[in-house]
């Protein structure tokens, strides 16, 4: 496109002007000519279809009819003037109604002349009417814009009241596309167009707004989706390539005594095929001299901890330190305890740094880190403080990466120069399409196999009316020496209703399970960290049989003796969160249960989630279903959802296009990293001219 014109204010577009320009900016955030061209219809109406009046279905919202006007008259209803026209064809009649613009209608319309009307149908018993229909003479309809599929654009009441109607949008876009005919330039190479059988850009933009046929609309949509996803993936690959070129990484070339000893004598179970594959992928990263940036996703209980320990042993064998960053003190303490148990036969120093560590102990930890005496540092956000310095940090592992922002990860990079290898881990499986769209600059590894002997947790659905039988079951489990989680939703800790639900639930549990026969703990976000840790330790040490909690126990808590997870108001949780909670049980050798408690009447979507949880135990499959039910925004949370606001592409349904776009971007940059070959100049020009891509221009300029 002509960059000067395309980035001009819409105020200068014929038919808009200053006042409507201001209105379009305020209501729809349309500021420039490009914004207007990229403002695609959200649905389409087939204007080639005509209805006979007596054949209009009751469920048809909008219709187009050919007929004549029998009569025109003004009436008054509840002191309000309106204009009524009786419109008829050879099968029946329909009332046309106007509440304003009477003079124009009366002057323009003629009795017994043939018209084409279009509008929304309102039914009153067997009679129907259309208010403010679009109306044209039969001749002018045939001579009008040569399209039969008409786009419907998002609008607001304020815009419509100011004359910015659907008809207005179509007219403005039609005129603008004619003006831009020679200025909308191709931004994909001819080889891409040929390889993926994509139509040209101008043709696609014209037919996304004013389709000549359903076939061309389909082809235009596919072309523009590909373009959108291609530049998304190209951006990730440019960022990744730049990082690889500029940041060298420590080479961990040898596998030494520590890893060999652990693998031969201390491994608590045989590694799964997926664990071996991931370790191999990471070892290849360590050997190539480039800084590793890898995402490791594994289902609950898949053995990510063992993988992380083994790669830390590689770092230690090569003379480097490692760190593990955890989102909570509970999880950091568990990592610390687990590592010390697994490494009890090794001359390896593991230290713990959290907000609770006393100043005197902190000084000792800082000293040991600088001297290199400490091999592995486990901690919370306290690790990120500037005062925490390492002698030679070679590997940083971030557990539950979605709890940390980009800025926090960047602080780890600055702990050493060159920066350490980074492994971010998550026990919340991310659907592949979502991972590609959000973490496209990271290498991704997955562990899907569970270690042998892991017992699948049995999941059941119970309604509130079944509560007494659930309590009876809990008593039976406690009698066997087992422990119980009872979790309440806490969507927002400031919501009094949620807090009340939790406290009411706690009181009812205490009544059902009274002292001294039973001990009940409670953990929630309003408690101090010290109090939370105290209650958690009581549960971990088997001093209490029941833990009533909010979702603070969702991640990382490991109590092998806990065999029952009761989730209250389970319909209020997403599938991924339910699966995370379910993963807190089934960690021992006994059969475990997850009981989903819900209200008696559920929506169709809630019922689908509950049924899916009962029938599916694979976290990766659940993540795919969750993505389809809730969309990427809800899964990622509001902070990250904006990353995936595509205009046309849908990562849930456009998997094939996304895969093709990603492979295409990778192949092009492998052969032409700076996009200087003649065939790739359209892509280069797009990066230089597009305001959305200016931050990428530095990678190829």
The per-residue pLDDT for range 423-470, each reduced to its tens digit, is: 988 877 777 777 777 677 778 888 988 777 677 899 999 999 999 999
Most confident of 82-96, 238-252, 284-298: 82-96
Residue 557 vs residue 19, higher pLDDT: 19
pLDDT, averaged across the chain: 86
Q: How many helices (H) and strands (E) would you count in the chain?
A: 27, 21
CATH number for domain 266-288+303-426, candidates 3.40.50.300, 3.40.1350.10, 3.40.190.10, 3.40.50.150 = 3.40.50.300
Radius of gyration of the chain (CA): 32
- 642-678 confidence digits (pLDDT tens): 456 788 988 778 889 999 999 999 999 999 999 999 9
What is the predicted pLDDT for the residue at 351?
96
Overall CATH class of domain 458-616: alpha beta
Percent of the chain exceeding pLDDT 70 equals 91
What is the predicted pLDDT for the residue at 529?
72
Using 50, 70 and 90 to split pLDDT, how confident is the model at 495? low
Residue 479 vs residue 631, higher pLDDT: 479
Q: Domain boundaries in the chain?
A: 1-44+150-184, 48-146, 266-288+303-426, 458-616
By three-state DSSP, how is residue 573 classified? Answer: coil
What is the predicted pLDDT for the residue at 498?
55
- 366-418 confidence digits (pLDDT tens): 999 999 999 999 998 889 888 999 999 999 999 875 555 556 666 776 777 77
What is the predicted pLDDT for the residue at 594?
96
Instruction: Count Cα atoms within 13 angstroms, Cβ side, for 87.
Output: 28
What is the predicted pLDDT for the residue at 640?
44
- 150-209 confidence digits (pLDDT tens): 888 988 888 888 888 888 888 899 889 888 888 888 999 999 999 999 999 999 999 999
What is the predicted pLDDT for the residue at 580?
83
For the segment 540-568, the average pLDDT, to the nearest whole number, is: 85
* CA dist., res. 204 & res. 216, Å (int): 8
Tokens of 657: 């296009």
CATH number for domain 48-146, candidates 1.10.340.70, 2.60.120.470, 3.40.50.970, 2.40.50.140 = 2.40.50.140
* CA dist., res. 73 & res. 609, Å (int): 56
Kindly list the distances between the CA atom of residue 418 and the CA atoms of 245, 246, 248, 368, in Å, as whole numbers in the listed order.
13, 10, 7, 21
Tokens 């006979």 belong to residue: 52
Lowest mean pLDDT among 126-135, 215-224, 270-279: 126-135
DSSP 31-91: -BHHHHHT---SEEEETT----GGG--TT--EEEEEEEEEEEEEEEETTEEEEEEEEE-SS
- Do the domains 48-146 and 266-288+303-426 sit in the same CATH topology, yes or no? no
DSSP 283-347: HHHHHTTB--EEEEEE-TTS-HHHHHHHHHHHHHHTT-EEEEE-SSHHHHHHHHHHHHHHTTTS-
pLDDT reading at 216 higher than 90 = yes
């Amino acid at each position: 496109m002509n960059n000067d014109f395309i980035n001009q204010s819409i105020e200068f577009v014929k038919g808009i002007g200053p006042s409507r320009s201001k209105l379009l900016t305020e209501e729809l955030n349309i500021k420039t000519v490009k914004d207007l061209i990229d403002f695609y219809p959200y649905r389409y109406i087939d204007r080639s279809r005509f209805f006979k009046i007596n054949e209009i279905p009751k469920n048809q919202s909008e219709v187009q009819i050919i007929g004549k006007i029998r009569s025109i008259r003004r009436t008054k209803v509840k002191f309000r003037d309106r204009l009524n026209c009786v419109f008829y064809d050879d099968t029946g009649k329909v009332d046309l109604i106007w509440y304003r613009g009477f003079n124009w209608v009366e002057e323009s319309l003629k009795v017994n002349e043939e018209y084409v009307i279009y509008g929304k149908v309102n039914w009153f018993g067997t009679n129907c009417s259309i208010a403010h229909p679009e109306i044209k003479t039969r001749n002018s309809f045939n001579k009008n814009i040569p399209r039969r599929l008409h786009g419907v654009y998002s609008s607001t009441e304020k815009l419509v009241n100011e004359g910015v109607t659907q008809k207005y949008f179509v007219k403005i876009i039609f005129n603008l596309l004619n003006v831009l005919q020679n200025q909308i330039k191709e931004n994909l190479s001819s080889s891409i167009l040929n390889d993926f059988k994509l139509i040209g850009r101008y043709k696609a933009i014209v037919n996304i707004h004013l389709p000549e046929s359903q076939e061309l609309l389909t082809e235009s949509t596919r072309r523009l989706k590909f373009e959108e996803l291609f530049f998304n993936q190209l951006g990730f690959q440019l960022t990744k390539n730049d990082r690889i070129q500029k940041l060298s990484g420590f080479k961990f070339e040898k596998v030494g005594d520590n890893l060999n000893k652990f693998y031969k004598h201390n491994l608590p179970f045989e590694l799964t095929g997926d664990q071996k594959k991931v370790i191999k992928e990471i070892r290849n990263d360590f050997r190539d001299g480039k800084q590793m940036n890898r995402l490791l996703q594994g289902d609950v209980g898949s053995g990510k901890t063992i993988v992380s320990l083994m790669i830390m042993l590689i770092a230690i064998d090569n003379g480097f330190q490692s760190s593990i960053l955890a989102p909570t003190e509970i999880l950091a303490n568990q990592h610390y305890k687990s590592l010390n148990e697994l490494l009890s036969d090794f001359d390896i120093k593991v230290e713990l740094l959290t907000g609770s560590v006393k100043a005197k102990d902190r000084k000792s930890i800082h000293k040991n880190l600088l001297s290199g005496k400490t091999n592995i540092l486990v901690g919370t956000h306290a690790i990120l403080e500037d005062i925490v310095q390492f002698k030679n940090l070679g590997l940083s592992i971030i557990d539950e990466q979605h709890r940390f922002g980009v800025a926090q990860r960047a602080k780890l990079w600055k702990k050493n120069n060159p920066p350490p290898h980074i492994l971010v881990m998550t026990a919340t499986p991310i659907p592949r399409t979502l991972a590609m769209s959000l973490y496209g600059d990271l290498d991704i590894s997955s562990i899907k196999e569970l270690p042998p002997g892991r017992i699948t947790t049995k999941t059941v659905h119970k309604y509130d009316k079944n509560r007494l039988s659930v309590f009876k079951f809990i008593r039976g489990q406690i009698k066997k020496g087992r422990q119980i989680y009872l979790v309440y939703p806490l969507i927002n800790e400031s919501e009094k209703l949620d807090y009340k639900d939790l406290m009411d639930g706690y009181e009812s549990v205490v009544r059902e399970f009274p002292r001294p026969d039973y001990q009940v703990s409670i953990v929630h976000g309003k408690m101090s960290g010290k109090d939370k840790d105290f209650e958690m330790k009581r549960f971990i040490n088997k001093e209490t049989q029941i833990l009533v909690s909010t979702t603070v126990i969702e991640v990382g808590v490991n109590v092998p003796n806990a065999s029952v997870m009761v989730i209250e108001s389970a319909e209020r949780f997403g599938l991924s969160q339910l699966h995370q909670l379910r993963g807190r049980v089934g960690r021992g050798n006994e059969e475990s249960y997850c009981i989903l408690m819900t209200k008696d009447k559920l929506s169709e979507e809630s019922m689908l989630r509950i049924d899916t949880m009962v029938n599916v135990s694979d976290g990766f499959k659940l993540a795919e279903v969750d993505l389809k039910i809730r969309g990427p925004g809800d899964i990622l949370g509001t902070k990250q959802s904006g990353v995936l606001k595509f205009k046309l592409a849908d990562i849930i349904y456009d998997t094939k296009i996304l895969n093709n776009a990603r492979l295409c971007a990778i192949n092009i940059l492998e052969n032409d990293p700076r996009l200087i070959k003649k065939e790739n100049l359209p892509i280069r020009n797009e990066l230089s001219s597009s305001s959305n891509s200016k931050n990428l221009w530095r990678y190829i300029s």
